[in-house]
Amino acid sequence: MRPPASTRTPRRRKAPTPLNSLRVRTGVLGLALLTGLAAPTTTATAADTATAPTVEELRLDGDAPREILRRSGFDDAAPEFALALDRAHSWSQARRAVVREGTGLWRRAVDRAQGRGPAAGDLSRDDDRPLYWARLGMTRELRAWEPGFRLSDRQRARLLDELERTSRGQTGIRYPHGKGVKRVLVTGFDPFTLDRDIRISNPSGAAALALDGTVIETADGPARVETAVFPVRWRDFAEGTVERALRPHLPEVDLFTTVSQGRVGRFDVERTNGAWRGGFGDNENVGVTGTIPVADPDSQ
């Protein structure tokens, strides 16, 4: 695993990795400066605390996910994480291991996408799938882990939450202090429709990895880009994962945009945010139809 960002040498300015190598068109879901978001909730669900593998984690047993991990060199992520957990002899040690390994996985995926270090396999560097499948391998290890100390369901859920957030770049968003640099925040999503095509990628996730930490020179001066990735699970959105990740940063950014997988031959731009869920099945094969649960419906 790569070391956490706080221990690494600061990165120099660089142009972002070209995105014309992405093989799937990207559809823009939103482009707006946001002024407020609903308050997050912190209640752990039964799915978080269960020791049995989730629907997503069970897909790891297929040939395609194993091939993706092997051909990217990310097949060592889950075994190394399991060893790190076994070295933890207390809750605090386990939490430090989870934060370190989760942050390291995100940085490793970003470095690979941006051409730093060895490719460690013949899979294209701009591929977002190694991060997705490696994270699932790590969450499955954590869900099944039996430590030598007492670990409550609530504590395990907190560790899973830490792993999800750190390995998605959500806790590593940092902008330089002072004036003169525009601040841009971009978010993407995991691959989805995996039961239709388990080899599928998501260009928005690939774009997030390619852009994270880059500086773009514009006519109005440099713009620093920070990125994060979100899961494709209705329950995470209901629990406020987007609000919790973005709310601290939106007051300081000059531009925020979220992108996702689009349609072949189409480039869609959403002009307004909608508060309706259309029932499309998520990565846990759950479809939800209805109004998005928000603390202040009048704000939607």
Q: Which helix (H) or strand (E) holds 162?
A: helix 153-166
- Specify the pairing of strand 255-261 against strand 182-189: parallel
**Tens digits of pLDDT across the chain (300 residues):** 444 333 333 333 333 333 333 333 333 333 332 323 333 333 334 434 458 999 999 999 999 999 999 999 999 999 999 999 999 999 999 999 999 999 999 999 999 999 999 888 999 999 999 999 999 999 999 999 999 999 999 999 999 999 999 999 999 999 998 889 999 999 999 999 999 999 999 999 999 999 999 999 999 999 999 999 999 999 998 888 999 999 999 999 999 999 987 778 887 777 776 777 778 899 999 998 888 776 665 655
pLDDT at residue 268 in the model: 79
CB 69 within 8 A of CB 137: yes
Span between the terminal Cα atoms of the chain, in Å: 41
CA distances from 145 to 1, 17, 81, 152, 260 (A): 20, 38, 11, 12, 33
What b/e sequence results for 39-56 when a residue is b if at least 16 CB atoms lie within 10 Å of its CB, and e otherwise? eeeeebeebbbeeebbeb
The CA distance from 215 to 225, in Å, is 6
99's tokens = 């934060």
Q: What is the DSSP string of 40-108?
A: P--PPPHHHH-SSPPHHHHGGGSHHHHHHHHHHTGGGHHHHHHHHHHT--SHHHHHHHHHHHHHHHHHH
Fold classification of 182-299 (topology level)? Aminopeptidase (3.40.630)
CA distances from 14 to 53, 112, 175, 225 (A): 41, 15, 15, 11
The CA distance from 31 to 28, in Å, is 8
Domain ranges of the chain: 43-166, 182-299
CB 78 within 8 A of CB 134: yes
